Amino acid sequence: MTGTARTVAEAARHSTPHTPARPTTERPSARFDPQVLRARWLQVASEDPATVARARAEGVDFTLAAGRVWETDEHVYLPLVATHLRGDSVERDLLTFALSPDHVATAQPTRHYPIFDKAIARMRRTPRLTLSSYGIMYALVYALNEAAERVIHHASDLLEEMSDEIEEATLGYDRRGREIGVTDMQGTIARMNRAEEIVSSTQESQLSLARAARHLRSEIADTDPVLAGLVETLVADIDGVKEHASFEHDKVRYLQQAIMTSLDVKQNQIVKVFTIITAVFLPPTLITSFYGMNFTHMPELEWTLGFPWIVLVTLVAAVIPLAYIKRRGWLR
Q: How many C-beta atoms surround the C-beta of residue 294 within 10 A? A: 5
Asked whether residue 232 carries a pLDDT value surpassing 70, the answer given is yes
The answer to whether residues 135 and 128 touch, using CB atoms and an 8 Å cutoff, is yes
* Residue 310 banded pLDDT, cuts 50, 70, 90: confident
Could you report the per-residue pLDDT of 145-170, keeping only the tens digit for each?
999 999 999 988 888 877 777 777 66
Name the segment(s) of the chain with CATH classification 1.20.58.340. 271-327
Asked whether residue 34 carries a pLDDT value surpassing 70, the answer given is yes
The predicted structure's pLDDT at residue 180: 67
The CATH code that applies to domain 271-327 is: 1.20.58.340
Q: Which residue did the predictor score with more confidence, 10 or 119?
A: 119
* Residue 295 banded pLDDT, cuts 50, 70, 90: confident
CA 141 – CA 122 distance, rounded (Å): 11
Which DSSP string do the residues of 232-262 spell out, in sequence order?
A: HHHHHHHHHHHHHHHHHHHHHHHHHHHHHHH
Asked whether residue 249 carries a pLDDT value surpassing 60, the answer given is yes
Helices 133-161 and 186-220, axial angle in degrees (round to 10)? 160
The rounded mean pLDDT for the chain is 81
Task: Tell me how far CA of residue 226 lies from CA of 119, 135, 238, 313, in angstroms.
Answer: 18, 10, 19, 94
Separation of CA 50 from chain center: 35
Q: Which residue did the predictor score with more confidence, 100 or 223?
A: 100
End-to-end CA distance of the chain: 90
pTM above 0.75, yes or no: no
Asked whether residue 14 carries a pLDDT value surpassing 70, the answer given is no
The predicted structure's pLDDT at residue 235: 94
What average pLDDT does this structure show over 174-181? Answer: 68
Contacts 24+ apart (CB under 8 A), 98-102: 98/55, 98/60, 98/62, 98/65, 99/75, 99/133, 99/134, 99/137, 99/215, 99/216, 99/219, 100/74, 100/75, 100/76, 100/133, 101/132, 101/133, 101/134, 101/219, 102/40, 102/133
The predicted structure's pLDDT at residue 216: 92
The predicted structure's pLDDT at residue 179: 67
* Residue 242 banded pLDDT, cuts 50, 70, 90: very high
Q: Where are the beta strands (DSSP E) in the chain?
A: 41-45, 70-71, 76-86, 89-99, 104-108
